[in-house]
Structure 1
């Protein structure tokens, strides 16, 4: 029978705790991990739980309490601007885990902490969270596990998500930039051909895609605009002759098939 031993604030923290327990040869699992949002944060009301076998509960709690104690002491030192963190002793039971996951450095008297998860156990962190004095400022992901970061999220000191940059074709170039308001996407722009020009724009409402614009690399004017209702493409406007004016309208049915076409005087 499994028993709740720890409620984490994110999947990242839950994996850290589970890894810590595994260092002591305790087995467990994570529940609720997939309730989190795209940036790694929990949705409202979501909880990520670390579960262990009933017979391992007492030992697991002792390990976690010791870890919590050292975490509190570390951030207490960091808040005071101390430069002694590099020589901080974590205790023999924690060194193996902490050294692989967390390092602390001081810059302009600000504590910068990096935490992460190595999902494929290749020695390289595939998910990294950077905090300053306890507040997350940036998260980075290697989504295809090739050893290179391909998505970053940026946060204000208050914890508010403000922007992201991503390499959607995994070629090493961050071609897509996204702005957020209230932790939801509002607009994105991408360089789809790798010429340094953002030729695709996307608009969102309540985090849901509503419109895309594709621009001509020659004129810089839009050549196609698509309109969405939820997940469904409902209509699109085209500039069929490249003169910088829309002249064709396509309507789409619920299956995404063209249901109607009309031509009109360019505007």
Structure 2
């Protein structure tokens, strides 16, 4: 596998992935929210698109041709913005690899560079309240069939020119088992997964600025999650197991991504009563009753 594109964020990478798919090239996104939906979600150039070695030259040519297409003046201004040291010439093969793409939707049958500028409401000075009406974007979708079986492996959903959701069929059974939604900045805001491919998306996650905050699983479909992961700044902080009443019956705490301690409800009365300390392999090193006030 070879890196063919360094993306500004996950949605950016998905658009390039769709561009290559239109030309019959299968690509893979690494470092973004679509790869598992857990842990720290990198942004700002650490998301990348890779292709097979034999597709590298053709993929680069397709991306280069697309990026070289004429764009409106407003888009040219965006391309001149400073995206940080990583986007400086010499750091990567082409500084244009960091041009953000999420605001541009592929044209029918391929990807174009044309952007549409919507009118926005602006506040009036002097305390006068002015309500502006923005154009309501129309919804559209584009299917991508990677294996040529006539069934969509991915569906890119747009509101106007902005990518808002990607539906993915990971096991090619004709049913979308991964749904990723994006905010106005092109960062993942939520993820739903069907991890056992049963047709029910039992796992859901919430993200803030592209970083995981909460991830929960409702395996029996009763509306109450049996397991919940809580994150701080995108890093796993603790994992909680809940009973049918939503009470925490076990909590494991992580330090630096490694299981370090926790509490458990040993008598199953709905109250945590025993603390645990784990060793570096995740085995219980010691346990003792919790002191109750």
TM-score range, shorter chain: 0.5 to 0.7
Is 1:224 aligned with 2:250? Answer: yes
Structure 1 pair 163/265, CA: closer, same or farther in 2 (3 Å)?
A: same
Do the aligned partners of 2:17 and 2:49 also contact (CA within 8 Å) in 1? no
Is 1:234 aligned with 2:260? Answer: yes
Do the aligned partners of 1:246 and 1:266 also contact (CA within 8 Å) in 2? no
**Residues 72-117 of structure 1: CA deviation (Å, up to 9, x unaligned):** 48766x989xxxxxxxxxxxxxxxxxxxxxxxxxxx9633332343
Do the aligned partners of 2:43 and 2:210 also contact (CA within 8 Å) in 1? no
How many residues are paired up? 225
Do the aligned partners of 2:6 and 2:45 also contact (CA within 8 Å) in 1? no
In structure 2, the gaps of 5 or more residues are: 36-40, 71-105, 120-134
Cα separation, 2, equivalents of 1:115 and 1:208:
33
**Residues 215-246 of structure 1: CA deviation (Å, up to 9, x unaligned):** 111x4321111101233111121111122222
The structure 2 residue matched to 1:154, chosen from 168, 181, 187, is 181
**Residues 48-86 of structure 1: CA deviation (Å, up to 9, x unaligned):** 478426xx969x949x9599897548766x989xxxxxx
1:159 Cα deviation after fit: 2.8
Do the aligned partners of 2:249 and 2:270 also contact (CA within 8 Å) in 1? yes
Structure 1 pair 225/36, CA: closer, same or farther in 2 (3 Å)?
A: closer
Do the aligned partners of 1:200 and 1:215 also contact (CA within 8 Å) in 2? yes
Cα separation, 1, equivalents of 2:261 and 2:7:
44
Cα separation, 2, equivalents of 1:112 and 1:74:
17
Cα separation, 2, equivalents of 1:42 and 1:129:
21
Q: Which of structure 1's runs of 4+ aligned residues deviate more than 6 A?
A: 6-9, 66-70
CA RMSD of aligned residues (A): 4.0
Match of 2:44 in 1: 44
Output the TM-score relative to the length of structure 2: 0.62
Match of 1:188 in 2: 215
In structure 1, the gaps of 5 or more residues are: 23-27, 81-107
Is 1:135 aligned with 2:162? Answer: yes
Q: Tell me which protein shows more strand as a share of its residues.
A: 1
The structure 1 residue matched to 2:140, chosen from 113, 117, 123, is 113
Cα separation, 1, equivalents of 2:242 and 2:258:
22
Match of 1:101 in 2: none
Is 1:18 aligned with 2:20? Answer: yes
Structure 1 pair 71/189, CA: closer, same or farther in 2 (3 Å)?
A: closer
Is 1:249 aligned with 2:275? Answer: yes
